[in-house]
């Protein structure tokens, strides 16, 4: 027992003297652990206290050492499969007879334009908590991935066949900023080149009626059966509420999912073991926007309006690929979607929009990226409609003319219409009406006359004409709908030209 306690004390001292250096700790305690295990095998329960004290140190050691080894293995894999500019990685997912079997994958790289690119599916999923991780085996090495990615792979596995996938959390070295920037530019072609994009919403939860919702979607029919579709929704409350739960999964709130769905040749929605074609959801979306056909159903079934609202909340995902190629059609509708890095609110559109004036550069600040994008947008389109949604976002210190693309406060639907339909284009596309001075000399007595206020190009200069001045306003809500009543109100306010 004395030898065991002495071994515990020695291990504790080693940890104290080598904090942060797991490799050194591993070498020095290995022989002590062997000695300790031999002693405790003979002593049994009589040394539980000493063993418990040891575990207080070794639990932390084993966890940290395992993570460090996993990161080291990841570095080895990515270094051996380093990417050139025209390359990307795919993975082979090995089969398993049960979901609980360990996940085995092989990473390999391929040229984008190569005739040898195999048929593959791309996985679209929500990352979730980056610190909640699971271990899998890649190219014979243990690496860690997010829990949501791990769960997706367990459901995507085939019982007997090896399948080929692209999934960003493994196929891109997330610790290599240069590689991330390079691969962001390739994601559009990766998703559009996939045979199928598999949308993974997570596990099916008890009581969420997900199986019933999938069955309802599978049996809805087509637009030709519109009355039949409405009747099925109306008569099946449990399935309809399950569909509402599906549409309110956190997945639909994420920015990167927009291009991943829009670019898909074919898409399938997965929730746990259940799946449904994206086209079935598109069919339901096509008729959900017509209030006339749903009016009677909404009167008798309160969940019908809730379902229509949930479909409206993801309506931007149903935009066509052709329409999405112009960023002006999608910039406002996707404003409220979320991403961990605010720069990705623009970077995530690069793969789907042909005319977006930005490039993936994670070394630049959010303020600079948002400002430069807006400046180029104004200069190339001569359109001042972005000023409709400009706001001084907290923590970003944006210029007053730059919108906060994070969508922190949402977007007024009137701005969507004004921007999309060009009703408020006061600039008339006149180039000389918009400019960005390179310098603004300070007029403060505390500063040198040649000092500038803020780095360029944070100042917007434009010209306008004062057309008139509002001298009075009137409320029209109590006026009957006829011209004579309106004229009488105008006369009483002294607004008529006849006054």
Per-10-residue mean pLDDT of the chain, 499 residues long, equals 48 47 43 42 39 40 50 77 89 94 94 91 93 92 94 95 95 91 90 96 87 85 68 81 92 94 95 92 81 68 82 91 90 88 94 88 92 88 78 78 79 57 60 64 52 59 80 67 70 59
Contact between 112 and 187 under an 8 Å Cβ cutoff? The reply is no
- In the chain, the largest separation of any two C-alpha atoms, in whole Å, equals 111
The pLDDT of residue 425 is: 61
Summarize pLDDT for 239-278 with one digit per residue, the tens: 888 999 999 999 999 999 999 999 999 999 999 999 999 9
The pLDDT of residue 274 is: 92
The pLDDT of residue 68 is: 57
Contact between 260 and 188 under an 8 Å Cβ cutoff? The reply is no
Assign 199 to helix, strand or coil: strand
Question: Is beta strand 104-111 parallel, antiparallel or unpaired with respect to 87-93?
Answer: antiparallel
The pLDDT of residue 285 is: 86
The pLDDT of residue 392 is: 64
DSSP 469: -
User: Residue 352 and residue 189: Cα distance in Å, rounded?
Assistant: 9
The pLDDT of residue 32 is: 44
The pLDDT of residue 43 is: 43
The pLDDT of residue 463 is: 76
The pLDDT of residue 478 is: 59
The pLDDT of residue 418 is: 54
Using CA atoms, how far residue 133 sits from 130, 149, 339, in Å, is: 7, 9, 19
Sorted by sequence, the CB contacts under 8 Å of residue 307 that are 6+ apart come out as: 233, 240, 243, 244, 247, 288
The pLDDT of residue 56 is: 41
The pLDDT of residue 52 is: 38
The pLDDT of residue 189 is: 92
């Amino acid at each position: 027992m004395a030898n065991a306690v002495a071994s515990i004390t020695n291990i504790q001292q080693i940890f104290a003297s080598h904090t942060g250096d797991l490799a050194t700790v591993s070498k020095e305690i290995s022989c002590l652990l062997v000695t300790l295990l031999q002693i405790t095998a003979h002593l049994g329960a009589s040394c539980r206290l000493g063993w418990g004290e040891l575990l207080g140190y070794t639990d932390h050691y084993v966890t940290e050492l395992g993570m460090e080894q996993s990161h080291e293995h990841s570095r080895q894999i990515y270094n051996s499969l380093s990417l050139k500019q025209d390359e990307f990685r795919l993975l082979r997912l090995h089969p398993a007879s049960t979901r609980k079997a360990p996940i085995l994958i092989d990473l390999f790289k391929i040229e984008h334009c190569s005739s040898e690119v195999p048929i593959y599916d791309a996985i679209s999923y929500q990352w979730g908590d980056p610190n909640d991780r699971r271990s899998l085996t890649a190219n014979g090495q243990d690496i860690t991935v997010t829990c949501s990615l791990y769960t997706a792979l367990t459901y995507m596995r085939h019982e007997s066949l090896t399948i080929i996938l692209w999934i960003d959390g493994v196929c891109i070295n997330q610790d290599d900023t240069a590689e991330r920037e390079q691969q962001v530019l390739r994601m559009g072609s990766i998703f559009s080149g996939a045979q199928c994009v598999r949308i993974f919403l997570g596990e099916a939860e008890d009581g969420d009626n997900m199986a019933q919702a999938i069955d309802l979607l599978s049996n809805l029919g087509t637009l030709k059966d519109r009355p039949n579709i409405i009747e099925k929704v109306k008569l099946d409350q449990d399935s309809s509420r399950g569909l509402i739960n599906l549409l309110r999964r956190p997945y639909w709130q994420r920015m990167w999912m927009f291009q991943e769905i829009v670019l898909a040749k074919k898409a399938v929605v997965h929730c746990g073991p259940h799946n449904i074609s994206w086209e079935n959801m598109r069919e339901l979306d096509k008729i959900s926007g017509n209030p006339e056909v749903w009016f009677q159903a909404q009167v008798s079934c309160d969940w019908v309006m809730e379902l229509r609202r949930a479909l409206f909340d993801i309506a931007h995902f149903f935009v066509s690929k052709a329409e999405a190629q112009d960023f002006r059609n999608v910039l406002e509708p996707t404003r409220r979607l979320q991403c961990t890095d605010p720069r990705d609110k623009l970077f995530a559109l690069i793969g789907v929009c042909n005319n977006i004036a930005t490039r993936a550069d994670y070394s630049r600040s959010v303020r600079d990226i948002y400002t430069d994008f807006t400046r180029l947008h104004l200069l190339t389109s001569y359109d001042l409609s972005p000023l409709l949604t400009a706001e001084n976002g907290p923590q970003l210190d944006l210029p007053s003319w730059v919108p906060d693309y994070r969508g922190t406060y949402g977007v007024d639907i009137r701005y969507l219409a004004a921007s999309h339909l060009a009703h408020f284009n006061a600039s008339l596309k006149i180039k000389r009406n918009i400019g960005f001075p390179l310098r603004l000399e300070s007029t403060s007595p505390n500063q040198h006359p040649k000092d500038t206020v803020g780095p360029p190009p944070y100042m917007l200069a434009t010209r306008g004409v004062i057309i008139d001045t509002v001298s009075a306003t009137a409320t029209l809500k109590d006026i009957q709908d006829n011209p004579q009543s309106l004229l009488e109100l105008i006369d009483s306010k002294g607004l008529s030209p006849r006054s």
